[in-house]
Structure 1
Amino acid sequence: MQFSAPTTRITDKWLFAMTVVFVVALLVLFTNNALNQPRQYFWPAVTEWVSEQNQASYESILAGPDSAWQEAVNPINAGLSDEPIWLRFTLPVTQIDQHGTYIDIGYPLLDSIDVWIQHGSETTHYHAGDAQPFAQRDNKYHGFLFPVPDYGSAVSVIMRVQSTSVVKVPVKIWQQKAFWEHISNTNLVMGLFFGLLLAIALSNLFFFFTTRTLTFIFYTGYVICLGLTLATLHGFAYKYLWPAQPWFQSKAISLFASTTLIFAVVFSASLLEIRTYSKRLSTVFNALAGAFGLIAASALFLDYAVSIRIFLVLLTITVFLIMGVAIWLARKKVSVAGYYALAWGALLVSAFTASLDNLDIVAISIPSQVLLLYGATIEVLMLAFILAISYSRQRDFMLSAKEDALEKEREAVRAKQALIDLQQTTQDELEYKVGERTLELEIALRELSEANRELEKLNTIDPLTGIRNRRHFDKRLQAEGRRSRREQTPLALAMVDIDHFKSVNDQHGHSAGDACIQHVATILQQQLKRLSDDVCRYGGEEFGLILPNTDTAGAQQLLEAMRAEIEANPCQFDGTSISLTISAGVASGVIAFGDEETSLLKTADERLYQAKQAGRNRVVAEQ
């Protein structure tokens, strides 16, 4: 998928702006509606047991002194802790409805919850948590719901909560009718959201099968894993996908969050064409994807607290890296990078903030699950828009090329028809006209042929140095490989790299670096005496040489002469003399089969690496 650097179309900017406004307007409308509706639940005043005897039994807690309890902020957020916490509150009779009252704990990732509702000598005990199969719950609520018996007077509630993951206990009191109306609305919104994710995933999967573009399958994987992560956070995945697998439920967040980041990293690298601009950055992205893969695999064996901490460290690195790269590419006028930074910024910032909230490092006013939902909605729709831009540009390019071809074909048909029409005139006029038209066509074809040759030449010329480029090198390598195999003559390849080139850029600037590359290219070209020999700019400060009918000794001698010439002739730039050296790897052999020339090139590259390791400014031709 090619985004390299076409100027951003005005239409794209307007469409993107309208998409952002539309998504934000929907979220603002949804939030305002939620805020403006009368609140149908209340937060009870909760106290927390602060004695060191957290492992005590219900009976000992009940008999404990009031001084062991202190006021707590509801919702409770204990961060990552495997210690049990004890909570206590009183429900006045005015809050207990005769038609049914519920205690709602809306965080579905708690391992174990015990609730004792006491009225005088009568006690009702409930036990729940995602450490037990979903079918054992008394209701099908994706969170945790505990009915309050109607004793006709106030009741006292004691709760014990323990989890190996983040401990958040948002305690709400609902009347039965209001609660199920709220759940109905929530399920509708969540159904629309997950339906949107599914539709986007399926459409991009279809695009992958029709275009064979990997970017689409990476985005499909990202959307699916993001949906599974959010479904797990909200409790829907445990309810519908693996209700009988509490062990897998305890691992799901780490697993799917990590796989989401795997696809996020590879999708970013593919969409932004990172390898085109920096091989090192491409390597970093590959390493990050591998690291998240290891976290995903180890999540099945490590404790949640360990794996999530490692995940958050890598997530932080990934956030700043991806945003930094997107901004860097946007400054390089890569049109899609700016859109990409905005889209990913929405999700990455919300995910990072939600993670800090879960660890009780920061406190936010809205639930972390809702924050993630907002960020995901904005990000998924914006990325879908970016992919739509990509598809639109590809289609426009293909249609334009097809139209050009058809126009040329029509021109040829018109020319042919003109010749046929000329045949219907008199013989003398026919001979004159045909001769004249034929001459015009020959001139046009000659000019077209010359233009094609010039275009082909331009496509194989490196614009900075004027020597051949990587494209020419690859084609020439295949041709010379076949020739060596056919004639059984040796083929020598050499890979040359300017030593300490980054230091030249850092000390003298990129213009000086360009001048040094030109200087080295000129010397390498001048050292070649045979027409069959070729030097090409392979990439960056690296050059490749193709030396047909040359053995190892001959190639080494030539490269030594080049190395000495470059060392003896510094590059002159703006009155500054910049000393340069090169390292080179040489490999020679007779091509015997298939694409053995590729292996020969790899050997030359490995010997270049050996030259670098051995101290640079040298030629390595043998192991």
Structure 2
Amino acid sequence: MQIHTDKLRNYDVGLLVTAIVAVVLFISLFLNISPNSSQPPHYSQLKYRFASPDELNFENVDQVPSNQWVPATSPVNLGMSDKAVWFSMVIEPTQSPDSKYLLHIDYALLDELDVGIFENISSAPVVTYSAGDTQTAENRPFQHVKPLFPLPSSQFSQQVFIKVKTSGTIRLPIRIWKESEFIQFTANRNAALGVFFGILIAMGISNLFLTVTTGSKSFFLYSGYVFCLALTIATLQGYGFTYLWSGSPWFQGKAAVIFASATIMFGSMFTRSLLPIKKYSILLDKIMRGIGWLCGASIVASVLLPYSIMIKIFLVALSIIVSFTLLLGAWMATKGEVIARYFTIAWGFLLISALAASFDNLNLVHLPLTSNTLLIIGGAVETLILALILAINFSHSRDTLINAKQFALEQEKQANTAKEHLLTMQQRHQEDLEYKVEERTLELEVTLRELSEVNQELERLNAVDPLTGAHNRRHFDKSLRAQGRRSRREQIPLSLIILDIDHFKQINDKFGHDAGDECLKHMTHLFQKHIHRPSDDLCRIGGEEFAVILPNTDLQGGKFIAESLLTALASEPLSYEGDEINLTASAGVATAIMHDEDQAQHLFRLADSLLYKAKQSGRNKVISQQLQD
């Protein structure tokens, strides 16, 4: 690719600024997320001992002689082992008896984790906990992304024993926190990771849109790479197991290698799409294609083979593939491919972080930052630079196409000039005709665009109730059918609330129909303030009757929302021309997981009948019921 010198200089500056800003931003975020900590309870150096799975338990572990325990270096990284590892530490009595303390292990990929806490005066554990990938969220002491355990208050020293059994790397970055300081630390860490995931998701979605608008598969492959990288980091940080597949410990044991393999697969395919490898070497192009197939096979193998085998194979393969891709980019840069030069710089960030993470997980090096943090920083910087490279490549391709068209037009003009002395009058009339056609075409395009805008506005107005601004009955019918299909397709609950203002006719008779209209507007405004999710849909389906469609909401959640709406309405009366109009409403809530097309109407009829039961049983109340199959 040949790029003009001035543009090349601008691209160099842009890439340099992007890289520096990204590196500084993410390093500063992850080095400064820990709040100022007061003095935690003192605890002894962590010691460890390997044991067969059934050799030790909490009934006899305190009887192991002290000379059989090995002091652990910090940070604790014992590599990979099939054996169970027992850790031991002594916690001094807390200076503040009223303070609550937490034992935090900042590593999410441990399969089995058992904790027993002994007081020095007791021979049995005061309390025991279990966590790890084999435990679902509800069985853990706290629903947190990393193992977290409350420490019981005690005026005595406490002996803590921790049993770890995992198929991956045995790491135990342990820390004791005050509860208030841990909350602040978690908030800061979530903010930093939120920036990272926000950047990745925004880039992935924007490039999906570019895929649709440009038809370029490079944008699609880049989106796939970005989304898989985000899922990989979410798995390593524990967010995936906590929030996405918390009910599947089996999948958690496979997810890291599956998503990491998918990331490399999309990365290799994106590399082939971005760089003209085939132009310089058919063999290297086949190797890159083979890497994509190999990563696809790794995804399948990850499902079938144990994690302990796959993670070792993957870490070695990761280092080789990233190194090969970096060398390929550097080689192509020597051939004059400017994009390859930028690509090499971007891949270099990932190579450094990937190699450091691999060596750290294989217990070959010890780093001040965790391997997961290094992957986040390296992946974020590489992703930003790749986005810039993709934009440069697309811009250059577009400019090349425009220049080719302009050159062709210039050649055509020169050919026409040679005949100009024979066709002067004809050409003059032709140009005049073409101008009029273009002018008329432009007018038609403007008219069509205006018509399209008017149609869009009419479509919007056709779905909105003109009095309240809520969606109308026509929109409600469409939305209920659509959400019913989604519930049936994804097998998620769908809740429907039908509400009706109590004694609305009396309000009209006493204050007038204008007051009644103001009541409807007031009710709509209150409800819209209390309905927060974008997918929730408030509709006016009758005179004083409203409906709220709640996708992915169970019966308890639907009833809670309905009660909050009724409470808000009752607590905020309407002031109208000096009078205060107290409003209440009754509601029926129906919930179902759809199995056929007709169930949406059954759900509506059930919610409507529950509304009238609420009316008959005293009004200003909610009656809810699950729709039976």
Query: Which TM bucket (shorter chain)?
Result: 0.5 to 0.7
Distance 2:422 2:155 in 1: 101
Amino acid at match of 1:84: A
* Matching of residue 144 in structure 1 with residue 132 in structure 2: no
* Matching of residue 419 in structure 1 with residue 419 in structure 2: no
Residue equivalent to 1:315? 318
**How much does 1:402 deviate?**
5.3
Contact 1:222 1:264 in 2 (8 A): yes
Distance 1:422 1:31 in 2: 69
Correspondence for 1:198 among 196, 201, 206: 201
Contact 1:205 1:220 in 2 (8 A): yes
Alignment of 1:120-519 (within 5 A): 120-121=121-122, 123-401=126-404, 419-420=424-425
Determine which structure has more spread, i.e. the larger CA radius of gyration: 1
Residue equivalent to 2:103? 103
Residue equivalent to 1:586? none
**How much does 1:70 deviate?**
2.8
Distance 2:185 2:35 in 1: 14
Q: CA distance change for structure 1 residues 309 and 136 in 2, over 3 Å: closer, same or farther? A: same
Contact 2:47 2:87 in 1 (8 A): yes
Contact 2:41 2:176 in 1 (8 A): yes
Alignment of 1:589-604 (within 5 A): none
Alignment of 1:538-617 (within 5 A): none
Contact 1:44 1:171 in 2 (8 A): no
Could you give the per-residue CA deviations for residues 96-147 of structure 1, whole angstroms, max 9, x where no partner exists?
6623100001101111111111123361111111112122223221001100
| SS of aligned partner of 1:300 | helix
Residue equivalent to 1:27? 26
Distance 1:42 1:94 in 2: 5
Residue equivalent to 2:79? 79
Contact 2:254 2:307 in 1 (8 A): yes
Distance 2:403 2:162 in 1: 69
Moved more, 183-192 or 389-398: 389-398
Contact 1:80 1:359 in 2 (8 A): yes
Distance 2:71 2:399 in 1: 65
Could you give the per-residue CA deviations for residues 363-382 of structure 1, whole angstroms, max 9, x where no partner exists?
11111111111101110000
Structure 2: 5+ residue stretches without partners: 430-629
Contact 1:24 1:378 in 2 (8 A): yes
**How much does 1:30 deviate?**
2.8
Amino acid at match of 2:80: L
Distance 1:363 1:209 in 2: 45
Distance 1:45 1:339 in 2: 49
| SS of aligned partner of 1:93 | coil
Contact 1:44 1:172 in 2 (8 A): no
**How much does 1:324 deviate?**
1.2
Instruction: Return the TM-score normalized by structure 2.
Output: 0.62
Q: CA distance change for structure 1 residues 402 and 151 in 2, over 3 Å: closer, same or farther? A: same
Residue equivalent to 1:617? none
Distance 2:106 2:403 in 1: 55
Residue equivalent to 1:58? 58
Q: CA distance change for structure 1 residues 403 and 40 in 2, over 3 Å: closer, same or farther? A: farther
Distance 2:206 2:364 in 1: 39
**How much does 1:56 deviate?**
1.5
Q: CA distance change for structure 1 residues 194 and 416 in 2, over 3 Å: closer, same or farther? A: farther
Distance 1:131 1:403 in 2: 64
Q: CA distance change for structure 1 residues 148 and 208 in 2, over 3 Å: closer, same or farther? A: same
**How much does 1:264 deviate?**
1.2
Moved more, 243-252 or 143-152: 143-152
Q: CA distance change for structure 1 residues 79 and 205 in 2, over 3 Å: closer, same or farther? A: same
Residue equivalent to 1:501? none
Distance 1:91 1:50 in 2: 19
Structure 1: 5+ residue stretches without partners: 425-623
| SS of aligned partner of 1:107 | coil
Amino acid at match of 1:91: I
| SS of aligned partner of 2:159 | strand
| SS of aligned partner of 1:333 | coil
**How much does 1:418 deviate?**
9.7
Amino acid at match of 2:144: Y
| SS of aligned partner of 1:9 | helix
| SS of aligned partner of 1:357 | helix
Residue equivalent to 1:537? none
Contact 1:43 1:74 in 2 (8 A): no
Work out the percentage of aligned pairs sharing the same amino acid.
Answer: 34
Question: How well do the aligned residues superpose, as a CA RMSD in angstroms?
Answer: 2.9
| SS of aligned partner of 2:303 | coil
Contact 1:93 1:155 in 2 (8 A): yes
Could you give the per-residue CA deviations for residues 205-235 of structure 1, whole angstroms, max 9, x where no partner exists?
1111122222111111111111111100000
Q: CA distance change for structure 1 residues 343 and 115 in 2, over 3 Å: closer, same or farther? A: same
Q: CA distance change for structure 1 residues 39 and 221 in 2, over 3 Å: closer, same or farther? A: farther
**How much does 1:164 deviate?**
1.3
Q: CA distance change for structure 1 residues 294 and 170 in 2, over 3 Å: closer, same or farther? A: same
Amino acid at match of 2:424: L
Q: CA distance change for structure 1 residues 398 and 422 in 2, over 3 Å: closer, same or farther? A: closer
Contact 1:79 1:358 in 2 (8 A): yes
**How much does 1:6 deviate?**
7.2
Amino acid at match of 1:291: L
Residue equivalent to 1:118? 118
| SS of aligned partner of 1:161 | strand
Amino acid at match of 1:216: F
Q: CA distance change for structure 1 residues 374 and 87 in 2, over 3 Å: closer, same or farther? A: same
How many residues are paired up?
A: 422
